[in-house]
Structure 1
Amino acid sequence: MNRYPIWKYILILVIVIFGFIYALPNIYAPDPAIQVSGHSAALTIDDAVLKKVEQALDEAGIKHFGGELSETNVTVRLYSQDDQLVAQSKVQEFLSEDYVVAVNLAPTTPDWLLSIGAEPMKLGLDLAGGVHFLLEVDTQKILQDDLKSIERLFKTEVRKANIRGVHIDREGMGLRITVDSDEKRTQITEILRDSVPEMDYVKLEEEGKFIALANFKGSYISEKEDYAVTQNLTTLRNRVNEIGVSEPLVQRQGRNRIVVELPGIQDTARAKSILGKTANLEFRLEATPEALSTQKELFSFKNEDEQARFGGAYLEKRPIVKGDSVTNAQLGYDQDTGLPQVNITLDGNGGTKMHRSTRNNVGRRMGILFIEYKTRTNVSTDENGEEVRTFTQIPTEKIISLATVRSALGKSFVITGLDSPQEASELALLLRAGALAAPMGFVEERTVGPSLGAENIKMGVDSVKIGLGLVLLFMLVYYRVFGFAANIALVANLFILVAIMSAVGATLTLPGIAGIVLTVGMAVDANVLIFSRIREEMKNGAPNQTAIKSGFDRAFVTILDANITTLIVAAILFAIGTGPIKGFAVTLSIGIVTSMFTAIMGSRAIVNLIYGGRNVKKLWI
């Protein structure tokens, strides 16, 4: 009685060895480091950049070692985490604004562990330090833009149908169409239902007037809101990837908010300028002198010298192509003048439009209009007294280039007229990453310093040590030999938990450490139930071996029920929570599974090895 087959012992041993090996990388503390990457993919990261970084650190008197060069960045390790921010500032000054310098943590895991895929857990913002932003997308803006387009379409369709006496006005997020007869209203409604099926139509009569109210369908509103948030989410991820942040978090929160966490970035202003900035280009032909005022617009030049010289220029209202046709944009330099430029590549449709327009207008000048949007946050109160934030984009439109078309252009050409490499690099990044579908503003922002992250790690590790030590001591004193078996299972549980989190790439946060501490307590809870059941069986006169078997078997159902309910709660937390709450839920979920394995199978295997198949006179429990 109380014997496992040999395969069960082998399975348990293999799982414990797996836990030990894949948890091992976490004992190798990463080195504080700085990471240098280009503002644009066009910038070459080579050995010369590495030497400049090391030179800047030497001149600043900051000790360093282990410079590493990859295709996209340079990493230099430091001896002290306190030197990171100073090193970041000095290197940034030395390299100019063409490069992004971020603080980072360089791994020290041995190669033999890396070769089998064993890596340390990733650290969240609260442990690694960095910046946290909560952005809110103004989804109403995209609906308002749609409403303007539909209003123009309505008026066009009404003119085509030659219906007189129609008044179309915007009313909230819908249109109010007023006519003088029910026949006209029916005719207009039928026309509009065919051309704009995404709206519902309601008929009213007021003071002898026949009215049709056209409002967006609920399904269409949800679809457009999802599109705006999803597009902004994609654009933000592209921008974060472009600036070379390691292990960023960009995810949706709720209906119209996006959380962005950038571990290792301490310059909030720079991060905000990249994430929240909206810029676009329009390529327009210069208006001819005989063009009507309704067909042209006057714009000033971005370059002050050109503005003083020409005083602005008229461009046609209708653009040839816009920035959303750009598929690639890279920073470059003019071979003759050395001035910065942006090498543009258009998609197939944009290239066709550009070729057709320039082919027919050789000799005319084409202007490149740079449109930069600044977001203004408007705070108001709704009828329920709740604060409502809306965001208005205020455009600044300047001509950055006005050059004569010498020959037909294709889908690849060059933009000049930019003031600095930094401006050209940023423009290339914004065009390459894509435009924002709707304006958004910063609702919340905070910075977590690397020193605070190190303090959080120390406190978290100390809490695990203290909790584990007290539990081990209690179990050993109170349950003796059985407590010894539970302690071995508990330590194995900790190894397996950390190994799984490392293997699946889970991010460890401060709440995640709290989940580990909770798991330590919950892991022995199952053993307490089992051991209490064994004591009860012994008091009822059961033989020692029978008491052991009955204790493990009969407590299993209770343990399973308790852990399943906790696992359901953890799943709900993960589904509806964000950031730290998800970290806690992940740790708790994995901990529940591993603790059930070690408490039921692991501790029983040890008890079986000690007492199984023997004539036991007394149980030390």
Structure 2
Amino acid sequence: MRALVSIFAALLIVISVYQLSFTYFVNSHESAMEAKAKTQVARLYPQSAAQKYPGNKEVQASYQDTLDQAFNARRKKLLDSSKDTKITPWGTTYQKAKESELLLGLDLQGGISVTMDVALDGLIKGLANNSHDAQMLQALNLATQKKQTRSGNLIDLFAESYKEINPSGKLAPLFSNSGRNKLTFDASDASVISYLHDQATAAMKQTYLILENRINQFGVASPNINLDDAKGIITVELAGATDPERVRKYLQSSANLQFWEVYNLGEVAQSIQSADKALQNYLNGVKVDTTAKTDSAKKDTSTTAVNANPLLHAIQFIQPQQDPKTGQPHYSAELGVVRLRDTGLVNSYLSNPIVKNNFPQDLKFLWGKQMTDEDGKPLDVFDLYAIRTVPGTEKAKIEGSIIENANQDFNPTTGEVVVEMSMNKQASKAWADMTTKNVGKPIAIVLDNIVYSAPNVSEPITGGNSQITMGRGRGSNQQSITEAQDLANILKSGKLDAPARIVSETVVGPTLGKAAVHGGMMAFGISFLVIFMLMLVYYNTGGWVANCALILNLLFTIGVLSALHATLTAPGIAGLVLTVGMAVDTNVIIFERIKEELTRGKSYPVAVKDGYRRSLAPVLDAHVTTLLTALILFYFGLGPVLGFATTQILGILLSLFCGILVSRLITDFYTNKNRHFNYFSAISRRIFTHKAFKFIEYRRVAYGISVVVLILGVSSFFHGFKEGVEFSGGRSYIVNFHKPINQEDVRAALKKTLTGTEPEIKTYGSQEQLDITTDYKVKELGPIADSTVLATTFQGLKPFLPDGVTYSEFITTKYLQGNVKVEPSISEELKSGAVKATIFALVVIFLYIFIRFRDWRYSLGTIIALLHDVFVTLAVFSFLKDAVPFTLEIDQHFIAAVLTVIGYSMNDTVIVFDRIREDSKLMKGASNGEIINKAVNDTLSRTIMTSLTVFLTILILFLVGGEVTRGFAFAMLIGVITGTYSSIFVAAPFLVDFAKRRPLGQAQEAVKPAAKSNKVTA
């Protein structure tokens, strides 16, 4: 056995060191390339910003941006050119070593993480025989609304909604089609729902595969994509991605390419005038007949200053230019342009029946791409187009999966960046007919309802070739080139039958990532040193055994993470810090038992042997309960919380191996040479010796405290909590103002711009950096809504930013350090998952304790203690949410903390229970109170020591670990204190009052009658 443990430990050491060596060599190579890049840039720009432009801070800042861009470009070029360079002694290239290094999550290096909801509403419409059936569309809309506030998949919600709208209606007539599927006209609703589920699963897998193909071409080092069939969501993590807008476009494109005929301003000028007047009357409260067409404008011909010409004010219509040859007016393809902040208003106007009824029935409004300047920076304006649909439908003349090939190129005449496309045979013929009929007129080329370009047709186009114009010049606009390459890849990857829409998004700038790494590593290093010294101070030379186990535990945990290509996140570092505190827990249990055996007069070899043997059961129980909650967190968690759960699971398993087997191996190796570790120190001899505290006698007081806790816990639900954006839905922006800012001034300014909302403002690390959360336009979906909210927020923040900062500069990581967006639908899913995880954890622990101790009283005592701990944490987060100088939010990190607290509290409680069970067999005839008092006193030293080690590590994480994990650390601090209290004063004393009729040692077994004796008594 010892030989096997030695071999396995040696293998783990070799594997861990080998895996981590790649990280070392990669960092060394990248540092060398950075130094080389700095040297080369310094030759090109010998003067610093301050030297070149003394006294002019604005010009200095601009010049420094130039230097930074030059450095980043040079560094990237050097790294790209050295991919095949061998950087390890055994000949591994930089590219291969980079693939094997320890991966850092996006919260540590910056990047973007998104949760995408596979949109099945379009799929359901496509599968229906009549996609314009009024009841079907009503049911689909109702199901979509339900999904915003309820968990569940869209198909089941659709079936439920259809029954509500049409109780006697059958689904089969909507979807049966002998030529396309096996559904008959009289098929049952269950068969139809099963068919829709099968089609949805296939569509989701197709969407997943296409998105996987797209992100593999995106160019980040370690892309990660996962599909959850049950929830219908796809999660994508792109650590190191630096262009969030590009990622959004790349992932959300369904590749639905369409070619439309266009209405120009001259053709709809009269309709615009009529619609404008009708809207003006409507906004002023004048009664209007919505069924009328242009007559609506005649209802009231008076002119009023209130709401005058609303359409003409919101949309800047592009007036025609006179053709110098013919003298005729020349109309552009665009109707007009709209400012970004007005797009929501214009959408509401154009969707109003009062306005729609004044335009031709085959007219449909579409937005163009966000306009950019010559440098490719986004402007706050959008083009508005009026396209012509096929009569009686909303379809284009050419649409669908029509592209056989696409690639980025340049227009040989103008030098503009274009995407060249070749169509299939069927589309080629339709394209030739369409261009023949529209010579001299524009045709809008639309992708996913966004107009990319609308060129004039100069002559019929045969052969099926066409192009989309993207930018202004060869090499002068790298952003247009990149965008064209992305678009070509999207078109080649194919159309998505079930497109995915971003419902949750987290963007982390590199500055925040560096701060998270710095804080996490500081917390980790300080925690390690504190626990290392504490073991030596309290356990004398025996502390070296615990410290060796601690070092190996951490080495193995990080090495296995690297070998599994797992991603280390900020919560993952928090998990490592917690592992430091809990890794010595096994040794503390064992050492305390060895000390007991030595105190009883046993020799060192016997005491060590008995100490390890008798500690095995409580050690396993304590770690299994903590492992169960970690597994539950891993199953229900999303995003960075998964990193914490993964680290915790590995730490627990390796803690058992190092604490039991490796520690015993080290101890035996030392004692075989007739030497022994000393487990007593001057401090440990004086603390908790001859303990005889009467805990049971004070249980009534503890019950009273628990009742107060219960009342406060229940009251917290009425008092309310501060929900994080993950659970409340909305958008959150972390903004660096580069100077101290007054929160109240910012709040007052944003209330004026973000109308109808109460934005939440809090500091994030310093007074110069604020975290701004708002639910402004939270129910409006799509990229335009996101851009509108961000632009409106910028308008409110503009007075607090340095003079001259433009919107384009604001959205860079210099000011916008990071942002989070969560739609209400996914926030409900997260809340539902959190509740399920907590309840499931309590049920699993109840069952484990019942199976392990075979006595329901132990299980009930455990659950009451755990509920006590949860209620205390909830009460603190509710009643102190506005009283502390840091954020107390209910989010995924809080749920992770609660589940960890449950596991940790169980760790304490089960140790006490194990000792009660052991003592109940030894103390025959003693009362339950005496047994429990002795058990609590015997384990008190261990309880205090393990609580102290965990408390110290979490306290250090709270103080220096950074903003990302501060709320988690605070919840854990509360949990450690309450968990220790509940184990001693709630769980154990509870057994006294519920074991009056049956001694604890008899468990669930019935009292058997005495066996008949064969002896004959006189």
1 or 2 for the larger relative contact order (CA 8 Å, sep ≥6)?
1
In the other structure, the counterpart of 1:115 is: 92
1:550 Cα deviation from its structure 2 partner: 2.3
Superposed CA offset, 1:443-497 (max 9, x none): 4545322222111111111111122112211211222222111211211111111
Contact 1:486 1:527 in 2 (8 A): yes
CA 1:233–1:13: 2 relative to 1, 3 Å:
closer
In the other structure, the counterpart of 2:881 is: none
Superposed CA offset, 1:176-198 (max 9, x none): 9xxxxxxxx99x96995857755
In the other structure, the counterpart of 2:406 is: 329
Contact 1:534 1:550 in 2 (8 A): yes
1:24 Cα deviation from its structure 2 partner: 4.0
- Aligned AA for 2:240? G
1:439 Cα deviation from its structure 2 partner: 5.9
In the other structure, the counterpart of 1:16 is: 13
2:445 aligns with one of 349, 353, 370: 370
- CA–CA distance in structure 2, aligned partners of residues 361 and 418 of structure 1: 22
Superposed CA offset, 1:513-569 (max 9, x none): 111112122221111111222223333443321222222233223322332332232
1:172 aligns with one of 139, 146, 152: 139
- CA–CA distance in structure 1, aligned partners of residues 556 and 105 of structure 2: 20
In the other structure, the counterpart of 2:598 is: 538
Contact 1:57 1:90 in 2 (8 A): no
Q: Between 234-243 and 564-573, report the one with greater CA deviation.
A: 234-243
Contact 1:341 1:417 in 2 (8 A): yes
- CA–CA distance in structure 2, aligned partners of residues 556 and 369 of structure 1: 74
Query: Percent identity among equivalent residues?
Result: 26
In the other structure, the counterpart of 2:109 is: 128
CA 1:454–1:440: 2 relative to 1, 3 Å:
same
- Aligned AA for 2:257? L
- Aligned AA for 1:130? G
1:583 aligns with one of 617, 628, 643: 643
- CA–CA distance in structure 1, aligned partners of residues 24 and 175 of structure 2: 71
RMSD of aligned alpha carbons: 5.4
In the other structure, the counterpart of 2:467 is: 415
In the other structure, the counterpart of 1:255 is: 231
SS at the partner of 1:217? helix
Superposed CA offset, 1:333-385 (max 9, x none): 35566554434356xxxx45357779999998899751234xxxxxxxxxxxx
2:193 aligns with one of 218, 222, 234: 218
- Aligned AA for 1:478? Y
Contact 1:134 1:260 in 2 (8 A): yes
In the other structure, the counterpart of 1:469 is: 529
Contact 2:203 2:497 in 1 (8 A): yes
1:128 Cα deviation from its structure 2 partner: 0.6
User: TM-score, length-normalised on structure 1?
Assistant: 0.64
- Aligned AA for 1:9? S
In the other structure, the counterpart of 2:670 is: 610
In the other structure, the counterpart of 1:264 is: 240
CA 1:395–1:475: 2 relative to 1, 3 Å:
closer
- Aligned AA for 1:524? V
Q: Please tell me whether residue 342 in structure 1 is matched to residue 419 in structure 2.
A: yes
Contact 1:344 1:414 in 2 (8 A): yes
SS at the partner of 1:578? coil
Superposed CA offset, 1:557-596 (max 9, x none): 3322332332232222222211111101111111122222
- Aligned AA for 1:331? Q
Q: Between 418-427 and 506-515, report the one with greater CA deviation.
A: 418-427
In the other structure, the counterpart of 1:516 is: 576
User: TM-score, length-normalised on structure 2?
Assistant: 0.41
Contact 1:62 1:83 in 2 (8 A): no
- Aligned AA for 1:415? Q
Contact 1:279 1:371 in 2 (8 A): no
Unaligned stretches of 5+ residues in structure 2: 50-60, 141-157, 163-168, 263-319, 334-386, 474-479, 681-1018
1:509 Cα deviation from its structure 2 partner: 0.6
CA 1:488–1:113: 2 relative to 1, 3 Å:
farther
Q: Please tell me whether residue 86 in structure 1 is matched to residue 65 in structure 2.
A: yes
SS at the partner of 2:584? helix
Number of residues paired by the alignment? 504
Instruction: Say which structure is richer in helix.
Output: 2
1:604 Cα deviation from its structure 2 partner: 1.2
Contact 2:398 2:431 in 1 (8 A): no
Unaligned stretches of 5+ residues in structure 1: 36-49, 64-81, 155-166, 177-184, 203-212, 287-302, 374-393
1:93 Cα deviation from its structure 2 partner: 13
SS at the partner of 1:542? coil
In the other structure, the counterpart of 2:948 is: none
- CA–CA distance in structure 2, aligned partners of residues 88 and 429 of structure 1: 32
- CA–CA distance in structure 2, aligned partners of residues 235 and 84 of structure 1: 42
- Aligned AA for 1:372? L
SS at the partner of 1:331? strand
SS at the partner of 1:22? helix
In the other structure, the counterpart of 2:492 is: 432
1:83 Cα deviation from its structure 2 partner: 12
Query: In the TM superposition, what are the counterparts of 1:565-576 in structure 2 within 5 Å?
Result: 565-576=625-636
- CA–CA distance in structure 2, aligned partners of residues 218 and 151 of structure 1: 17
2:657 aligns with one of 597, 600, 608: 597
- CA–CA distance in structure 1, aligned partners of residues 175 and 242 of structure 2: 57
SS at the partner of 1:111? coil
1:242 Cα deviation from its structure 2 partner: 3.7
SS at the partner of 2:540? helix
- CA–CA distance in structure 1, aligned partners of residues 131 and 102 of structure 2: 54
1:448 aligns with one of 474, 498, 508: 508
- CA–CA distance in structure 1, aligned partners of residues 545 and 603 of structure 2: 20
2:127 aligns with one of 143, 146, 157: 146
- CA–CA distance in structure 2, aligned partners of residues 427 and 191 of structure 1: 34
Contact 1:56 1:91 in 2 (8 A): no
Instruction: Say which structure is richer in strand.
Output: 1
CA 1:256–1:365: 2 relative to 1, 3 Å:
same
Superposed CA offset, 1:373-428 (max 9, x none): 4xxxxxxxxxxxxxxxxxxxx5659654747668766xxx4536666462644532
- Aligned AA for 2:92? S
- Aligned AA for 2:511? S
Contact 2:670 2:676 in 1 (8 A): no
CA 1:335–1:512: 2 relative to 1, 3 Å:
same
- CA–CA distance in structure 1, aligned partners of residues 625 and 636 of structure 2: 17
CA 1:497–1:168: 2 relative to 1, 3 Å:
closer
Contact 1:341 1:414 in 2 (8 A): no
- CA–CA distance in structure 2, aligned partners of residues 359 and 482 of structure 1: 86
